[in-house]
Every structure is written in C-alpha cells, then in structure tokens.
Structure 1
Amino acid sequence: MYKYLIFDLDDTVLDFSGGEAVNIRRLFAGIGLTGNELTKAIDTYRGINRKLWNQYEMGKIPRNEIFQVRFTKTLEALNLEGSGMDLESKYYEMILHNYRILPHAKHILNELSRRYTLIAGTNGQAELQRMRLKKTDIEHYFDQIYISEEMGSKKPQASFFDQIFQDNPEMTLDNTMMIGDGLYTDILGGNNYGIATLWINHHGTSTPENIDPTYEVHTLDEIMDIL
C-alpha cells in the first residue's frame, strides 16, 4: 500500500532531546549554576524554548526570533546577568556535535530502505541537520532530504509537502506516509495534506480533537509492527 515514507528527524530517528539535555546542563553549569539553581534554569529555558517553537510552528513568529531571544528571556526570568546571544553562540557550537540517534534507528532505516522510498522531511537549520545526518551515518538511507530552511516553507504548511510531491511524480496521497513525533508539525501537516500519518508518541501524550494520527506508537521500533 505505502511506497513513500517521509521521516521527521529530530526525536524521530535522531536523539535531539537527549543531546539537548546534556548540552543545556553543561551550558548553565558553565556560568556557575549548581543544584536547585541549575535545575530551575534548565526548566525555565525548556518552557521558554518550547513556547517559542510552538509560536513559530503556528506562524506567529519568524524562526530567527527563537535564537535571538530564548536565552535572553531565560536570563531575565531568572534575574541573572549575562548575554543571551553569547549563550546562544556557545549552545550552537555544542549542538553541532550532537550526534546521538535513537535506539534501533539504523536497523529500522536499513530494513525499511529495502522496501520503501525513504525521504527525510524536517524543520530546522540546514547546516546542522545535514552535518548530523552525515556524522550519525544515516544519510545514505534517505533517497531525498528536505529541510525547511532550504525550502522556504515548513511543516505543517502544505507548501512543504507540495515540493516533495512535485519532485516525485509517482507519489500519491494513498501511497505516502508521514512519520514523526511532532503533533503540530508532522501529524497535523500530514492530516491537512491528506496522507497517512504515524505518530511516535514518546511521552504518552493525549491527542487534541483536531489531530488524528492514522497510527500511533510509543517507541521507534514499534513502527516495524505496522510497516
């Protein structure tokens, strides 16, 4: 039935959250925070960062605004002195070397690549995503790679999927599936476009009424039971 699988990258095959947790802790420890102060700083940053990304995905702010204000807002919320942009620069250097992948990712991509056309479809920074694909040695499993920064559109926008479909004349709504962990990007985007979706629900989150994944799993390896 399915011939084309569009894979999100971060927290779908790449372990972005795992690397982020380590790097954020290192970053705030580097400015002298310890114990409860360190924990509070990490939690504060995560809340601010998550809100900004949600605003971006809903089209309320440009992507660059996230990187310009997230650490500044964090320092302000914590009543700490310092440069938010300096922290952003240090953090960017750290995440350039976040080469973690989720358990079983290589095996699953290898198996699926024998039976399907695999396409990477991700929101994010092109330099970062391409480097991580190369360094984790999973780039070769994907027949095509689409990154929002290079495309000028992002999930869940229809224009993101339009470009992929235009480049693949045999792709149809019935033979294509979007696979990812993002409810408001991967799954909502696939729902709106009319293709099947597979949601990797890592945290057992409830789905809103307006989002309806075709399939739902809790770990990456469970997708083999479906595909």
Structure 2
Amino acid sequence: MYQYLLFDIDETLLDFNRDMALAFERMYRAAGLNDAVPYSDAVLRLYNDCNERWWRRFEQGLCTKPALYRGRFVDFFCEAGLPQRDPDLVNSLYFDFLGQTGTVFPGAEALLAALAEKHPIYIVTNGNAVSQKTRLQNSGLLPYIRGCFISETAGAAKPDKRYFDYVLAHIPGAAADNCVVIGDSLTSDMRGAQNAGMASIWYNPHGLPNTLGVPVTHEARSYADIRRLLLEV
C-alpha cells in the first residue's frame, strides 16, 4: 500500500509538551526571570499562547524561523510583564535545555521497530535542527530511522509543497504516490500531505474534531491503529 513512511516527531513519537515544559522552566530560572515574575503554570500557558501564534504565522509563510524564535519571546516578555531580555540569548538557552530531553511516548519504539521491518522510516519535522537531532539521539529511536529532514536545512517547511519536494528528492525511489505522512498536526502534517499529493495518517489519540476540514486519508486514535493500517492492509 505505502512504501515510505514519513513520521512527524513532536506529539507523534516524542512527548514535546513534557519536554518543552521542562526546558522552558529550566530556561526561565536560569535566565533570572523567576526573580521578576515567579514561575507558574500560568506563565507557561502564556508562553505557549505566544509560541502557538508565531508557529501559525510561520506555517502560513508569514514569517521566517528566526523571526518566530525572536517574536515569541518578545511577545511573551511584554504580555507577562517581564523585563525585556535579549530574545536570541533566551532562545538559545531554551534550545540548550530542550536538546537535553527526548521523552518517548509509551509504545512508540515498539511501533517503529515493527514498521521498520517492512518500511523505510524517515522523520519530517519543522523543529530546531540542533535540538531535534539531540532529542532523537536521546530517545533511542534512531536505529529505526533511515533519515531526518529538518525544515531549516530543507529550505522550506511543512506544509509547503517545496519541503516535501525536497524530501522526495533525497529518498531514492520515493514518490508522492508511495509515501504516507504520519503526524498529529492538521496545519503542518496533514495540510502538507495534501499540498504534496501524498496520503496521510492523522494521529489523533485525543479524538479531536477536524474543525479545519483538512482532508486526511486515514485517522488513527492509537499506535495500534497505525500498525494495522500499515502492516495489516
């Protein structure tokens, strides 16, 4: 059915929400921000809101990755009532801590181990190049992965068709009709698959509604669903 598997990382294989929260709190304290506004869940939620806004802009082609990295912290400092700090230095510190993480969702390694016996597996991600590589190393998932395509080195990002054109050009034998994109994000993974003319598996373990109306080929509520779709069809 499908030959090449293009997996997203964050919230598909790795627990980014947990890793991000750990890295953000460590950064917040190391940067001395806790002295101005004590760290709390509300502070983290505020950062998440700023971060999500900027990622949506990036996915829509409205800003560059460096502008995203800077803008989310500039907005966060302002909205949290924090003193302005150098956003580049704070961002660098955040990525240093993020790169020390790599929490694997239960069952993710077993899933990849089973799939890798029959399919070449590749990673497709918009994440930061340095931290994503170290998180994958820390995760123990690299033995099952043939390659990793990070938007920063591809010259384009999901959901842009040019990103997937780059991926196909660097996988021998791969074509739009023999690949499937597997990920949790409607706006980057599923929209990207649609733009590239590829099949998709929306990993939706929380049963969220597809309020955006993005076409998906398959929906999976669990790793068992993904395994059945790819190994038992």
The equivalent of 1:41 in structure 2 is: 43
* Partner amino acid, structure 1, of 2:153: E
Cα shift readout 1:197-223 (whole Å, capped 9, x = no counterpart): 001124432214541111112333431
CA contact (8 A) 2:26 2:97 kept: no
Unaligned runs of 5+ residues in structure 2 are: none
Unaligned runs of 5+ residues in structure 1 are: none
Evaluate the alpha carbon distance shift between residue 84 and residue 141 of structure 1 in structure 2; reply closer, same or farther with a 3 A threshold: same
| Residue correspondence of structure 1 range 42-121 to structure 2 within 5 A | 42-83=44-85, 85=87, 86-121=89-124
The equivalent of 1:135 in structure 2 is: 138
The equivalent of 2:128 in structure 1 is: 125
The equivalent of 2:149 in structure 1 is: 146
The equivalent of 1:155 in structure 2 is: 158
Give the Cα separation in 1 of the matches to 2:197 and 2:178: 11
Deviates more, 1:136-145 or 1:52-61: 136-145
CA contact (8 A) 2:54 2:68 kept: yes
Evaluate the alpha carbon distance shift between residue 133 and residue 26 of structure 1 in structure 2; reply closer, same or farther with a 3 A threshold: closer
Deviates more, 1:185-194 or 1:68-77: 68-77
Give the Cα separation in 1 of the matches to 2:10 and 2:185: 9
Secondary structure (helix, strand or coil) at the match of 1:5 reads strand
Give the Cα separation in 1 of the matches to 2:141 and 2:52: 27
Deviates more, 1:45-54 or 1:17-26: 17-26
Secondary structure (helix, strand or coil) at the match of 2:207 reads coil
Give the Cα separation in 2 of the matches to 1:115 and 1:135: 24
Give the Cα separation in 1 of the matches to 2:212 and 2:8: 22
Secondary structure (helix, strand or coil) at the match of 1:226 reads helix
Give the Cα separation in 2 of the matches to 1:66 and 1:116: 34
CA contact (8 A) 2:78 2:84 kept: no
The equivalent of 1:5 in structure 2 is: 5
What is the root-mean-square deviation in Å for CA atoms of aligned residues?
A: 2.0
CA contact (8 A) 1:121 1:145 kept: yes
Secondary structure (helix, strand or coil) at the match of 1:146 reads strand
* Residue 169 (structure 1) shift: 4.7
* Residue 224 (structure 1) shift: 1.3
* Partner amino acid, structure 2, of 1:43: R
Evaluate the alpha carbon distance shift between residue 163 and residue 80 of structure 1 in structure 2; reply closer, same or farther with a 3 A threshold: closer
Give the Cα separation in 2 of the matches to 1:76 and 1:222: 43
The equivalent of 2:216 in structure 1 is: 213
Cα shift readout 1:173-206 (whole Å, capped 9, x = no counterpart): 3321000111111101101221110011244322
Give the Cα separation in 2 of the matches to 1:90 and 1:4: 36
| Aligned residue pairs, count | 225
Evaluate the alpha carbon distance shift between residue 28 and residue 210 of structure 1 in structure 2; reply closer, same or farther with a 3 A threshold: same
* Residue 89 (structure 1) shift: 3.3
CA contact (8 A) 2:95 2:131 kept: no
Secondary structure (helix, strand or coil) at the match of 1:61 reads coil
- For normalisation by structure 1, the TM-score amounts to 0.90
Evaluate the alpha carbon distance shift between residue 84 and residue 183 of structure 1 in structure 2; reply closer, same or farther with a 3 A threshold: farther
Give the Cα separation in 1 of the matches to 2:169 and 2:41: 47
Secondary structure (helix, strand or coil) at the match of 2:75 reads helix
